[in-house]
Amino acid sequence: MGFSTTDRPENIQAGKGLALPGLVLGLLTGLLSYGIIEFWVDGNDENYLAITSLFFLVTASIGYLLLAETGQFARASVAAIVIAAFLALPDYFMFSTLAIETGNYDSFPGMFWMMLGRGLSAYLLITLVKAGFENSTAVFSIPSYPQVFFHGLTIPLIASGAKLFAGLALLLLFAWAYLLKQMDVEFFHKLFQEPWFILPFLGAIGGLSIALMRGQQSVLNALRFVLLLFCRILMVITALFTVTLLLVLATKGVGVVFDRPYPSMWMMTLAIAGMLIFNGVYQNGEAGPPPIWLRIPTLITLIGFPVYALLAFYAFGLRIEEYGLTPTRIVGIAINGLVAGYSLVCLAGLITELNWRGQKWMPLVGPLNILMAGFWIVVLFLLATPILNPWAMSAQSQYNQIAQQKTAAEEFDFGYLRFKLGRHGDHALDKMLKLTDHPEADAIQSGVTRARSAENYWSYKNQFDDAPVTEPN
């Protein structure tokens, strides 16, 4: 099964002539970033609009360098700005929420957005837009899966190569400065530590690195080949692991999973890994079925995929039933839902295998992959906005644990609402004080008073050595 998209003539010249624009744009981005930090943020970490603007600027610049082609700069500029603006909305919500009451919010949703959700959303958006630009006769067209797969595979390689180039350049810069310092020339050593110099330098090197990496089509082709070959090898190993795990579950029961720490996380990790490996084997969907030695392991892996998702859901359900929702669990359930949704893609692929001699292999998988990419963008975006506010949803769930007598007041962690759910937790505590008809009204009032008298979460948990506290996490 070949991957002809990598060899298309129109892709051989991709990124041509972008070195100078990349250098200039990176330099300007670095200068503007310095200006925002020095004159707008100016030591005030609670200037959410300034910090959001900084992220907007960097995202728009990187998006432009990944989308632009010679003679097609205008639409790349518009698309990059739209993508950056789209991501700026959750950026502002997360920055402002976590800074309002420092230490009184569970930081996991913000960390998840900044470390994973934001980057993944930007990657998927740029991939879909880049694929939609493939039709040169129109400003934008509905992307086809071969183009989506091609750019989805190529963009991470470009980004990784650019980071490597930029890192090496920075390392050489400081090595040079250190060498000169040993020769009693400290001017450059001091210069390279100045923000007004280092930020524009990093911007220029970063922009140039992206442009140069885009032009290395022979290198990119080789890397794509190695990755896809690696996926084929991993698919056989994954199938063997799937068979082994299913046999263990059938003989020993699901307890072997749930008796271990973080069962839902492990199940989701296995499912996501299988999803990536499967797509590496499926490739762009243009070719026929693979050899039988690869086809059978792929089908085995697809059969095991729903099992991982259902086990993860079950693990989440057990924890939620006992302790209620927390921001971490809300994010986990959302991602698990997306993973479970991919089971429908697997099912569609398995159904098409009824036509064993079909010319195309699993023809429904490609279009459904594009649809799933859209779902990932929407869900990740909503998780970082007031629409699916994880702190508010958790506070309501924790309130229900007490109001509906699912958890005894003496075992309930009132401090979690006070110090991990911010104003939403405070509102829930106020509502608990109104539960005068509750069988444990006195214990509830005592717990709320204890939480509000504590200065921080640590002091709440250690006010009384014999006080039982069951943290929702």
- 42/70 same-domain check: yes
Has residue 87 been placed in a domain?
yes
On whether residue 472 sits in a domain, the answer given is no
In terms of domains, do 248 and 186 share one? no
> How many structural domains compose the chain?
3
Residue 424 lies in a domain: yes
Domain assignment present for 467 = no
Look at residue 9 and tell me if it is in a domain: yes
Residues 147 and 37 placed together within one structural domain of the fold: yes
378 and 281 in one domain? yes
Asked if pLDDT for residue 462 goes beyond 90, the answer is: no
Do both 337 and 420 map to the same domain? no
Residue 183 scores a pLDDT above 90? no
Query: What was the pLDDT predicted at 186?
Result: 79
Instruction: Note whether 396 and 334 are same-domain residues.
Output: no
SS in 3 state form for 26-52?
A: HHHHHHHHHHHHHHHHCCCCCCHHHHH
Does residue 405 sit in the same domain as residue 355? Answer: no
| Other Cβ atoms closer than 10 A to 434 | 11
Measured CA to CA, the distance from residue 455 to residue 441 in angstroms comes to 24
The number of beta carbons lying within 10 Å of the beta carbon of residue 360 is 15
Lowest mean pLDDT among 111-125, 137-151, 196-210, 335-349: 137-151
pLDDT at 16 over 80: no
pLDDT value for 309? 86
Q: Write down the mean pLDDT value for the chain.
A: 87
Structural domain includes residue 471 = no
Question: CB of 270 within 8 A of CB of 342?
Answer: no
Q: Which token pair is 380?
A: 């990740």
Q: Assign 193 a pLDDT band (cuts: 50, 70, 90).
A: confident
Nearest to 347 by CA among 311, 282, 303: 303
pTM > 0.85: yes
- In this structure, is residue 469 part of a structural domain? no
Poorest-pLDDT segment among 18-27, 177-186, 293-302: 177-186
Which residue, 101, 84, 85, is CA-closest to 46?
101
Give the N- to C-terminal CA distance of the chain in Å, as an integer: 46
Which tens digit of pLDDT belongs to each residue from 198-234?
A: 899 999 999 999 998 998 889 999 999 999 999 999 9
Range 170-191 average pLDDT: 82
Last residue of one domain, picked from the residues 388, 413, 444? 388
Task: Please give the pLDDT value at position 287.
Answer: 85
Single out the residue in 186, 215, 244 at which a domain terminates: 215
Using the 3D structure, point to which of 366, 388, 410 is the last residue of a domain: 388
Q: Average pLDDT in the 43-71 region? A: 87
Residues 354 and 451 in one domain: no
Closest CA to 106 of 392, 448, 419, 322: 419
| Paired tokens of 180 | 């000169």
Say what the pLDDT of residue 44 is.
63
Does residue 412 sit in the same domain as residue 454?
yes
Structural domain range at position 282: 219-388
Same domain, 98 and 77: yes
Q: Are residues 434 and 350 in the same domain?
A: no
Answer yes or no: do 127 and 197 share one domain. Answer: yes
